[in-house]
Amino acid sequence: MVFLSGCDDMSTQEDMGIPGPVEIREMTADDLNEVLAIEHASFSAPWTEDHFREEMAVPFCHDLVAYCGGKLSGYMSFAIVHDEVHIRNIAVRRDVRRCGIASTLMGEMLSITARHRVRLAILEVRVSNVAAARLYEKFDFSVRGVRQAYYTRPVEDALILCADLFENAGTFSRGDSPL
Ligand SMILES: CC(C)(COP(=O)(O)OP(=O)(O)OC[C@H]1O[C@@H](n2cnc3c(N)ncnc32)[C@H](O)[C@@H]1OP(=O)(O)O)[C@@H](O)C(=O)NCCC(=O)NCCS
C-alpha cells in the first residue's frame, strides 16, 4: 500500500531529504535491524528483538512498517481484542519526523480496525511526551485517566488516552490523516 505522507510537496520533501511517498507493509523479521535502530533511538526503555519477534507471532497483534524513499522510516504495533485496539508502540526515524509518517501509520491502523469493527482505541503515553500527545489529539484521543509510575527509566506516570472509533467512522479512513 502506498500513501502520500504530509510531505507530498516535492520541494518540501527534497528540502527535508524525504524522497517520496510512504509505503505501509506488514513488519517481517527482515525489518528488525532497522526497527531496533529506531526503537533504541526513540525510547529510554526500548523493546528488545525478542519482544518484536513475540509480537509478530501473536495473531491478534499487528505490526506495520512505513517505508519512505526505500528506507524503513517508522513502525507501529497494535493489538485488536474483540472491539478494542490497544496501540502498543509507534516510532519514526528522527530525520523524517514531522512529515506525516506516524499519521500515515495511524491512518492504516484505523483502516484495519474498521474492518474488524473495532469500537474503542486505547493507549498509554508518558505525561512528558508532548509530540505523541499532539499526534493522538489529532486523531481525537482524549485523556481518560492516569497510570501512576507506569514507566521506568525514568519512572513516570502514563496518561491513558482513548478514542471512540465508531464516533470517528468516516472521518479518517485508509491512509487519511487529519493533517
Ligand atoms: C510521536 C512520533 C511517533 C510522531 O511521528 P511523526 O511522523 O513525526 O508524526 P507526524 O508527522 O504524523 O505528526 C502529526 C502531528 O503530531 C504532532 N506532532 C508531531 N511531532 C510533534 C512535536 N515534536 N511537537 C509537537 N507536536 C508534534 C503535530 O500535531 C503533527 O502535526 P503537524 O506537523 O501538522 O503540526 C515521533 O515523534 C516519534 O517517533 N517519537 C518517539 C517515539 C514516541 O514517543 N512514540 C510514542 C510513544 S506513546
Q: What is the distance between the alpha carbons of residues 108 and 1, in angstroms, rounded to a whole number? A: 9
88 lines ligand 1 (CB under 6 A): no
Please write the tens of the pLDDT for every residue from 67-77: 999 999 999 99
Q: How far is the C-alpha of 89 from the C-alpha of 157, rounded, in Å?
A: 17
Determine the distance from the C-alpha atom of residue 152 to the mean position of all C-alpha atoms in its chain, rounded to a whole number.
Answer: 21
Q: Ligand 1 atom 39: the closest Cα is on which residue?
A: 91
Instruction: Provide the whole-model pTM.
Output: 0.89
Q: Give the pairing type, strands 120-126 and 84-92.
A: parallel
Grid cell in block for residue 167: 464516533
Query: How remote is the CA of residue 169 from the centroid of ligand 1, in Å?
Result: 22
Question: DSSP state, 172?
Answer: S
Distance from first CA to last CA of the chain, Å, rounded? Answer: 19
Residue 20 has what pLDDT? 74
For the stretch 127-155, pLDDT in tens is: 999 999 999 999 999 999 999 999 999 99
Q: Which one is predicted more confidently, 110 or 175?
A: 110
CATH topology of domain 2-168: Aminopeptidase (3.40.630)
Tell me what the mean pLDDT of segment 148-164 comes to. 97
How far, in Å, from the CA of 125 to the mean position of ligand 1? 12
The residue contributing the CA closest to ligand 1 atom 1 is: 132
Residue 87 · residue 162 · CB < 8 Å: no
Measured in Å, residue 172 CA sits from the centre of ligand 1 at 17
Q: Is the peptide bond before 154 cis (omega within 30 degrees of 0)?
A: yes
Write down the domain spans for the chain.
2-168
Catalytic sites, residue numbers: 124, 136
Percent of all residues in the chain with a pLDDT value above 90, rounded to a whole number = 80
How far is residue 93's CA from residue 179's CA, in Å, rounded to a whole number? 19
